[in-house]
Structure 1
Amino acid sequence: MWSALLWGGISASAVVLGALAALFLRIGKRYIGWIMAFGVGTLIGAAAFELLGDALEDGGVLATGIGFAAGALVYTVFDVIVSRRGGSNRKRSGKDQSGSQAAGGADQSGLGIFAGTVMDAIPESIMLGASLLAGKGVSVVLVVSIFVSNIPEGLSSTVGLQKNNYSRGKIFIMWGAVLVVSALASMLGYLFLEQLSGEMKAAIGAFAGGGIIAMLCSTMMPEAFEEGGPLVGFIASMGLLTAILLDTFS
């Protein structure tokens, strides 16, 4: 249980590192896009090998298919709601998210960024904790994938919050809250899934996989290409290759 809490916190700490980099360093948008593209590739690999592969093996095609479709649908519904409340560009460092809004609208946009980031982190963290149930230790593929993808998320989202006139202190409190939520989600994923049958575990694993893939397509992929250009296709492929190698040798 405590290992799940620890690894959930470690993977989410990359958001804080990204925020620190955005606040104190000058990092070009192109490099942010490249890091994000690599994270996209590793997360695709993690979702395919660690979540869907295990789900198919443990629960079969029906449970996996239903869980995956449900995860993608639920994430999309929540993404639409969060986007309408100001979080549509939560991973976009180059866009002024406040626009011509009044102060209240800008605050709503900042809260949208925060809510969207929490929403993105929960399915990843749950399955990170669940990966410990196999008794073979934490999934290296999931830890690396989540950590790498969280760095550019912290970078881009922090820039967006700064454009909404959020102070450094308030930004750190928000990302600290994301870290705590991620760690708790990882621990709860371990505790909750431990009680379930293999078929239910498979369905929930596929559910998280569907949410992750929907998140990648709606937020990370567009931002990576927008900031990094055509080179992101190759970089994402290298991220996927990295996930394959980690899965093979871990």
Structure 2
Amino acid sequence: MELLKAFGLGTLAQASLLLAGLVVCWVKVPTRIVGILAGFGAGAMISAVAFDLLPEAEVHIAMWQTVLWMLIGVGVFLLGDYVVDKRFGSEGAGGAMGIVVGSVVDGVPESLIFGIQIGIGATISPTFLAAVFVSNIPQAIAPSADLAGRGWGPARLGRLWVMVVLGCGVAAGLGYLLTTATSDAYGERAAALAAGGLLAMLTNSLIPFAYERGKQLAGVATVVGFCLTLLGT
């Protein structure tokens, strides 16, 4: 029962990726708005790295271990980005898919942490769960609008985001199972890995994507996203 609860929580927290990713198939989002939303999402992620993921890591492991796992996260993102570049090219759809890779690097460790929290009996904050759900919306709309403009239909976009969401649900289940195998499972390494991968994705994919489409307003949106997320912490 607890395993199913972990899977359900991981899926629910990331379900907004699927919902927001499909909206663009029926609602035309102007390019400038896509850039602004991407900037807002970038600001929210910077805040999450600084005030959520890194503090989670620093509580239980030494700083050198945090740095090591952040670098591993960078490697995971670069590997995923390389695969995307080989499949879609570095321009066009490849740029949008790089943001999707970032969603995976963010969502999977995040879901793993949810599963670990259930396994150790920790209280999961509804506010934090809601923040994860809401912050995923611009993260999904930005690449999905770009992909839809390049001919991706609802079925193809839906399959893409369903795989991401289900993968996060599986990660949450694995996080729970990890606590049954060892008592030393806090999710700090997953948090550091996600932080490193997100910072790499922000520099390589999301922030350039936001500025290209939102111009100067992308920077404003980034600060707004950072500040609103900061107020919610």
TM-score by length of 1: 0.75
- Match runs of 1:8-19 below 5 Å: 8-19=10-21
Matches within 5 A, 1:13-162: 13-86=15-88, 88-89=90-91, 95=92, 97=93, 113=97, 117=100, 120-131=103-114, 133=117, 135-138=122-125, 140-141=127-128, 143-145=130-132, 147-157=134-144, 159-160=146-147
Alignment of 1:128-207 (within 5 A): 128-131=111-114, 133=117, 135-138=122-125, 140-141=127-128, 143-145=130-132, 147-157=134-144, 159-160=146-147, 163=150, 165-192=151-178, 195=181, 201-207=187-193
Secondary structure, counterpart of 2:20 in structure 1: helix
How far is the alpha carbon of 1:213 from its aligned partner? Answer: 1.5
Q: Decide whether the 8 Å contact of 1:32 with 1:152 is kept in 2.
A: no
Distance 1:71 1:143 in 2: 25
Q: 1:244 to 1:151 in 2, by over 3 A?
A: closer
The CA RMSD over aligned residues, in Å, is 3.0
Of 210, 214, 218, the residue aligned with 2:200 is 214
SS class of match (1:23) = coil
Residue 150 of structure 1 deviates from its aligned partner by 4.2
Does the aligned pair in 2 maintain the 1:35–1:148 contact within 8 Å?
A: no
Task: Select 1:232's aligned residue among 194, 218, 224.
Answer: 218
Distance 1:200 1:2, change over 3 A: closer
Shift of 1:182: 2.1
Q: TM-score, normalization: structure 2?
A: 0.80
Contact 2:44 2:225 in 1 (8 A): yes
Using a 3 Å threshold, how does the CA distance of structure 1 residues 67 and 139 change in structure 2: closer, same or farther? farther
| Matched AA of 1:206 | A
Contact map agreement 1:58 1:198 (CA 8 A) in 2? no
Identical-pair percentage: 22
Decide whether the 8 Å contact of 2:35 with 2:211 is kept in 1: yes
| Structure 1 residues 13 and 191: alpha-carbon distance in aligned structure 2, compared to 1, 3 A threshold | same
SS at match of 2:24: helix
Cα pair 1:125 1:182 within 8 Å, conserved: yes
Contact preservation (8 Å) 2:57, 2:192: yes
Contact 1:58 1:199 in 2 (8 A): no
DSSP-derived class of the 1:49 partner:
helix
Q: 2:209, 2:34 → 1: CA distance?
A: 9
Q: Distance in 1 between matches of 2:199 and 2:103?
A: 11
TM-aligned CA deviation for residue 24 of structure 1: 0.7
For residues 67 and 197 of structure 1, what CA distance do their matches in structure 2 show?
20
> Where do 5+ consecutive residues of structure 1 fail to align?
90-94, 98-108
